Structure 1
Amino acid sequence: NIDEIIATIKKSRNVETAQSNLMKNFKLSEIQAKAILDMRLQKLTGLERKKIEDEYREVLKTIEHLKAILASEQLQMRLIKEELEELKEKYGDARRTEIIKTYEEFSIEDMIAEEDMVITITKDGYIKRFPVSGYRRQNRNTRGSSGASTKGQDFVEHLFIASTHNYIMFFTDKGKCYWLKVHEIPQVGKAAKGRAIVNMVQLEKNEQIRAFVNVKEFSDEYFITMATRKGLVKKTNLMAFSNPRRDGIYAIKINADDQLIEAKLTDGDNDIFLATSMGLAIRFSEKEVREMGRVAAGVKGISLSKNDYVIGMVVVKREGTLLAVSEFGYGKRTDLREYRIAHRAGKGIITFKANEKTGRLISIMEVVDDDDLMLITDSAVILRVHVGNISTIGRNTMGVRIMRIDKGARVSDVARVQLDDTEDIDAPEGA
């Protein structure tokens, strides 16, 4: 068709018309027509024409070969094998890594720095963690710093300290136990609200968390000792809690008019302190409480007067001083030697002189001079204060003002911070 193509081009008025006529008369694409117009005259010689025809035949052969490969799995495998052998010949060399039969397992904790965290839980059940080092120490009788953003009537109700590698066992008012790894708790800023616990553990309707136990690992050498609002105590081996379900397990049988208020880790040889809202306390040996299974209800720890109830339990481990804090920010320390060891189920002796000025007793704990305290109010104000700045006085006193409380507010929880030697507690926040 060379002669016809040349004639078509000669008859065309311009390049655009020639391209259009070639496409129309010879059913060519725009690209093919343009390629013909771009050809030099030397391509029209017999030799050049033969080269084009030879190239065309080679392309047809290649197409047939590729179609054969696509149609045959055997040909595909043979081709892959040949190409792999070529790669092996070109790039193959001796293994540079060593394969061994043994290896050392590691867990997610190996990649997480071990660090003490402040953990807070609000009344509506929001939880978060924040490094202890983020709070600087302040003097007593100061207001403290903002610790959480709350919404509506919600407020921070619980505060405690735990390492990122530890387990936190959650004990509820209904006597159930749940647990989480501390590093699973979201770490956010001090002013953030945190995450709803119901999205992390499956609490029952109207179930409230009342106590927490910080556990490094589970062992049958330790016990969980619990106390209820009505004055019952119970001791169960720690291994009974090593495999809780996501929806929790029962730790103690709770009567309809009672609730769990505290749970502590003990070794079987400790002394137990129970304190009431009216300022009474009793000290007795843990050995007076026999070991029981998880579904048992416990035995009487203290006899209560009308309208009184247990507010806390202390496991004596360091023979320091007993700290007592009231709802209106008053507190004191009393030497533990002032409390004789009695038999359980007694009425107790005065440990705090509660009145209208101090409000009811809300927290007790064992402390030493080197400890720091974290106090938190129901209006989300946190105060960190050194225990050495709190007076040690007798049992039958109301103590001194530890924290100024805003009008209408109350202290909702107290936690002890054991100082790290490397911590600069006097540095400004954020330093």
Structure 2
Amino acid sequence: MNTEGEKLIPINIVDEMKSSYIDYSMSVIVSRALPDVRDGLKPVHRRVLYGMYGLGVFSNKKYLKSARIVGDVLGKYHPHGDRPVYDAMVRMAQPWSLRYPQVDGQGNYGSMDGDPPAAMRYTEARLQKISDEILSDLDKDTVDFQNNFDDSLQEPKVLPTRIPTLLVNGTSGIAVGMATNMTPHNLTESINAITAYIDNKDITIDELMQHIIAPDFPTGGIIYGYEGVREAFHTGRGRIVLRAKVSFEQIGNRDAIIVSEIPYQVNKAEMIARTAELVKEDKIPGIHEIRDESDRNGLRVVYELKTDAIPNVVLNLLYKYTALQTSFSVNNIALVNGRPQQLNLKEIIHHFVEHRHEVIIRRTRFELNKARERAHILEGFMKVIGTQDDLDKAISIIRHSANPQEAKAGLIEEFQLSDIQAQAILDLRLARLTGMELDKIRQEYDEIMKLINHLEEILATPSLQYEIIKNELIEVKNKYGDERRSEIDYAGGEMNIEDFIPNEQVVLTISHAGYIKRTSAKEYKVQSRGGVGNRGATTRDADFLEYVVAATNHQYMLFFTEKGKCYWLRVFEIPEASKTAKGRAIQNLINIEPDDKIKAYIKTDDLKNTEYVQQMNVVMITKNGTIKKTSLEAYSRPRVNGINAIEIREDDQLLGAKLTDGNSEIMIASKNGKCIRFPEDKVRSVGRTSIGVKGITLEDNDEVIGMIVVNDIANDTVLVVSEKGYGKRTAVEDYRITNRGGKGVITLNITEKTGSVIAINSVVDENDLMIINKSGVAIRMNVSDMRVMGRNTQGVRLINLKGNDEIASVAKIEVDQSVEEEEELAEGETPTTETTPNTHQETNNTEETGTLFDE
């Protein structure tokens, strides 16, 4: 019900919401969140600087309480909360927030760890010296002013800054429907680019980039890759990757990663806390301790590593998972003539130069008007006090006048003066009437006339105006310019760990119990046969080195488990250790399930080499006689948690895996003494998820005990060993070639005396064997001591077993020929020695072919 005289106007609510929301969003865009392209400041920052200017707290004056400054800004220009004003002022004083701070703060102004500043009643502030340049010429009608919020005062719409603030300090802000995120740049580089633009308005962005190379962040760090920088300069949008600046140190016997600079806007304390969580979750293995040793001399964060960790690998994990690597999404949006606009580098420079141009013209006009006003007054002086007679006449008129108005009128009439000139004569001090002072007035008039001519020439000559802009910028550069803080890694891009690690020769050793290590090949000097040899690794009792192979850091190791899973390690990811070190358990390096066990390991070349992975195959055998051949390509895409290499049925398990080139022969042996031989091409290649095909037909209560791949039929011999200590070597040709899936032929005549077959190996005379008994005794023997005999025999006794002891396993000591020269036994040592697991002697008197155990 409307009261009398009121008129109701119905309005569509959708239209009203649309209109009101647009008004609100424009208010936020223009009056709060986005900077002006000319001075690079948002309203709150401009008001803080102008408020401090009004209070006179310049860089050469004493500090003033922050609460006094905030109160003044709040009461006069910025009618919002005191906290936003103080927060803005604090940020303007933080050297890690602004590349060139504008406020000089005294007291607790927060920290890089995100600590808040002290309350404004405790801190003090004044303007930085560089802010004098931002406010320079403000009193010379260089910019437009507007009423403040209650129309009681005037405030500048923009500041006449000589500093390209938008470029050198950047900005960030979230408006309604848009945001800005602009990077800071180096002042010297920025001014070099601006002066290059002034010299050539048609300069390209690429040419500008020869001067302003990249953003320059207050916290330093490294810009990783240049493509994002180029894109941001050209379009106003781009993604710049930032990395911490790191170095490596040795602290005691540990390696340490030292961080001396962190990416821009990263909270150091949060970064360290998050890293500690990731270390606990085992996302970043290899870190022993994290310490923040930062002090007033600079930032220093120490990541102390475990003794077996590889610094470069840990560093790359830190880059991947923590804020040691971040990205800065550039979005150059600023207000141009009150409207938001996305700007590239040249446009930002153009608008700043045009602003300076306008400031120079307005300042020159102001100074010209002032000079003309002064010249006009001096001309009056010259008329009145030019000669002694004129001076006496003027004094007489003043003395005989009843009041100043009458005196002024008399002077105007007598000397044809203007009102302003007559008033200036009346205001003249008697001291100025001396002869010396009169000469000074004439001299000042001459100088003023020269100044007027110069100022008129400036206004009439645009080239002179731009020369002034240039010279003032160079003056600013000489005063405040400094070196770059952020380095640029032009080669950066997608992370490539190989870039950090040289592809040098190493020796891999894996012990029977599953301890693995990587040793530099330089530790293996060439040594002739019969030499004294070198002391090898310390292994656990009844353990020995089973696998010794030369490799390079960029090669891969594939591990296959009895549950049919495949895991990867790059060779450089295997912990480095000396020849005498034990190494590290493989289970600690890969995410193997607790109830699973590694059954085979394969060294391969680069899995990214398409031709290589398509040419090579992985052949696997299970306990129940299933064989599977799959192209190595199926295993060329590593995953942290491994992949399924073969589907294992219930009551089955993977026994072995071998790398083949497509032309090999395969032999499979069973525990009941049967062995089958067939060409590799009889097994068709299947996908990674397939089960495989039948490799051998087994009788009841029989099972496969192993598989060998034969590449050199003439020299390779087949060694089989039974659980009661019998074994024999047989030529490969003694086993006739059959089809895959047959029952095979006898490889060892099984009797109660021999027991079941427990191992099959492809051996040559140069190999050594390590036979491990169930009781823990380990016996080493040379293959050359075993003669080659027929296939259908029970073999010979290899070792004497005590009581009911049986052989648990037989391992061929695989030693690469390239490192074999180092593996000679010490002169006079016996090649066959036994040990029991209870021995208390050190078990490290071995060469790298295997550990010799003393009783």
TM-score normalised according to structure 1 size: 0.66
Which residue pairs with 1:11 in the alignment? Answer: none
Q: Indicate how the Cα distance of structure 1 residues 289 and 418 shifts in structure 2: closer, same or farther if over 3 A, else same.
A: same
Give me the whole-angstrom Cα distance separating, in 1, the residues matched to 2:726 and 2:619.
Answer: 28
Which residue pairs with 1:419 in the alignment? Answer: 817
1:128 partner letter:
I
Q: Is 2:466 the counterpart of 1:72? A: no
Gaps of 5+ in 2: 1-58, 65-102, 105-125, 134-186, 189-474, 484-488, 528-535, 608-612, 827-844, 848-855
Which residue pairs with 2:600 in the alignment? Answer: 211
Shift of 1:332: 2.1
Question: What SS does the aligned partner of 1:239 have?
Answer: helix
Which residue pairs with 1:174 in the alignment? Answer: 563
Alpha-carbon contact 1:220-1:238 (below 8 Å) kept: yes
User: Residue 222 of structure 1: which of 601, 616, 619 is its match?
Assistant: 616
Q: What are the Cα deviations for residues 81-126 of structure 1, in whole angstroms up to 9, with x where unaligned?
A: 899959999x9xxxxxxx9999xx983795475233330253xxx5
Question: What SS does the aligned partner of 2:818 have?
Answer: coil
1:412 partner letter:
S
Q: Please say which of residues 205-214 and 266-275 is displaced more in the overlay.
A: 205-214
Which residue pairs with 1:387 in the alignment? Answer: 783
Give me the whole-angstrom Cα distance separating, in 2, the residues matched to 1:375 and 1:361.
Answer: 13
Q: What are the Cα deviations for residues 229-263 of structure 1, in whole angstroms up to 9, with x where unaligned?
A: 11111111100001132111111121112111111
Give me the whole-angstrom Cα distance separating, in 2, the residues matched to 1:307 and 1:425.
Answer: 41
Alpha-carbon contact 1:147-1:382 (below 8 Å) kept: no
Give me the whole-angstrom Cα distance separating, in 2, the residues matched to 1:373 and 1:76.
Answer: 81
Q: Is 2:702 the counterpart of 1:308? A: yes
Q: Is 2:516 the counterpart of 1:128? A: yes
Alpha-carbon contact 1:252-1:296 (below 8 Å) kept: yes
**RMSD, aligned α-carbons:** 4.4
Q: Indicate how the Cα distance of structure 1 residues 194 and 353 shifts in structure 2: closer, same or farther if over 3 A, else same.
A: farther
Q: What are the Cα deviations for residues 178-224 of structure 1, in whole angstroms up to 9, with x where unaligned?
A: 11134433456899775444432222352222222221233110111
Give me the whole-angstrom Cα distance separating, in 2, the residues matched to 1:227 and 1:108.
Answer: 37
Q: Please say which of residues 290-299 and 165-174 is displaced more in the overlay.
A: 165-174
1:365 partner letter:
N
Q: Indicate how the Cα distance of structure 1 residues 378 and 64 shifts in structure 2: closer, same or farther if over 3 A, else same.
A: farther
Question: What SS does the aligned partner of 1:115 have?
Answer: strand
Shift of 1:311: 0.7
Larger strand percent? 1
Q: Is 2:655 the counterpart of 1:261? A: yes
User: Residue 107 of structure 1: which of 498, 513, 522 is its match?
Assistant: 498
Q: Indicate how the Cα distance of structure 1 residues 267 and 189 shifts in structure 2: closer, same or farther if over 3 A, else same.
A: same
Give me the whole-angstrom Cα distance separating, in 1, the residues matched to 2:697 and 2:707.
Answer: 14
Question: What SS does the aligned partner of 2:640 have?
Answer: coil
User: Residue 119 of structure 1: which of 497, 502, 510 is its match?
Assistant: 510
The alignment of Structure 1 onto Structure 2 pairs a total of residues equal to 349
2:626 partner letter:
L
Which residue pairs with 1:318 in the alignment? Answer: 712
Give me the whole-angstrom Cα distance separating, in 2, the residues matched to 1:413 and 1:86.
Answer: 79
1:179 partner letter:
W
Which residue pairs with 1:349 in the alignment? Answer: 745
Q: Indicate how the Cα distance of structure 1 residues 296 and 74 shifts in structure 2: closer, same or farther if over 3 A, else same.
A: same
Shift of 1:379: 6.0
Shift of 1:380: 6.0
Which residue pairs with 1:410 in the alignment? Answer: 807
Shift of 1:341: 0.5
Question: What SS does the aligned partner of 1:107 have?
Answer: helix
Structure with higher Rg: it is 2
Question: What SS does the aligned partner of 1:396 have?
Answer: coil
Which residue pairs with 1:271 in the alignment? Answer: 665
Higher relative contact order (CA 8 A, sep 6+): 1
Give me the whole-angstrom Cα distance separating, in 2, the residues matched to 1:409 and 1:236.
Answer: 36
Give the alignment of 1:30-179 within 5 angstroms: 67=63, 70=104, 71-75=126-130, 107=498, 111=502, 113-120=504-511, 122=513, 126-129=514-517, 148-149=539-540, 159-165=546-552, 166-179=555-568
Which residue pairs with 1:336 in the alignment? Answer: 732
2:678 partner letter:
F
Which residue pairs with 2:632 in the alignment? Answer: 238
Shift of 1:420: 3.5
Q: What are the Cα deviations for residues 330-362 of structure 1, in whole angstroms up to 9, with x where unaligned?
A: 432111111111011111111123444444322
2:573 partner letter:
E
Give me the whole-angstrom Cα distance separating, in 1, the residues matched to 2:724 and 2:500.
Answer: 40
Q: Indicate how the Cα distance of structure 1 residues 86 and 318 shifts in structure 2: closer, same or farther if over 3 A, else same.
A: farther
Question: What SS does the aligned partner of 1:220 have?
Answer: helix
Gaps of 5+ in 1: 1-62, 92-98, 137-144
Which residue pairs with 1:35 in the alignment? Answer: none
User: Residue 590 of structure 2: which of 201, 209, 228 is its match?
Assistant: 201
Q: Indicate how the Cα distance of structure 1 residues 413 and 369 shifts in structure 2: closer, same or farther if over 3 A, else same.
A: closer
Question: What SS does the aligned partner of 1:423 have?
Answer: helix
Q: Indicate how the Cα distance of structure 1 residues 259 and 308 shifts in structure 2: closer, same or farther if over 3 A, else same.
A: same
Question: Identity across aligned pairs (percent)?
Answer: 37
Q: Indicate how the Cα distance of structure 1 residues 375 and 190 shifts in structure 2: closer, same or farther if over 3 A, else same.
A: farther
Give me the whole-angstrom Cα distance separating, in 2, the residues matched to 1:257 and 1:409.
Answer: 24
Give me the whole-angstrom Cα distance separating, in 2, the residues matched to 1:300 and 1:101.
Answer: 51
**Which stretches of structure 1, 4 residues or longer, exceed 6 Å deviation after superposition?**
80-84, 86-89, 99-102, 130-134, 189-193
Which residue pairs with 1:184 in the alignment? Answer: 573
User: Residue 291 of structure 1: which of 674, 682, 685 is its match?
Assistant: 685
Alpha-carbon contact 1:353-1:396 (below 8 Å) kept: yes
Alpha-carbon contact 1:173-1:210 (below 8 Å) kept: yes
Q: Indicate how the Cα distance of structure 1 residues 114 and 405 shifts in structure 2: closer, same or farther if over 3 A, else same.
A: farther
Give me the whole-angstrom Cα distance separating, in 2, the residues matched to 1:383 and 1:252.
Answer: 34
Alpha-carbon contact 2:537-2:581 (below 8 Å) kept: no
Give me the whole-angstrom Cα distance separating, in 2, the residues matched to 1:375 and 1:115.
Answer: 28
1:75 partner letter:
I
Give me the whole-angstrom Cα distance separating, in 2, the residues matched to 1:185 and 1:77.
Answer: 59
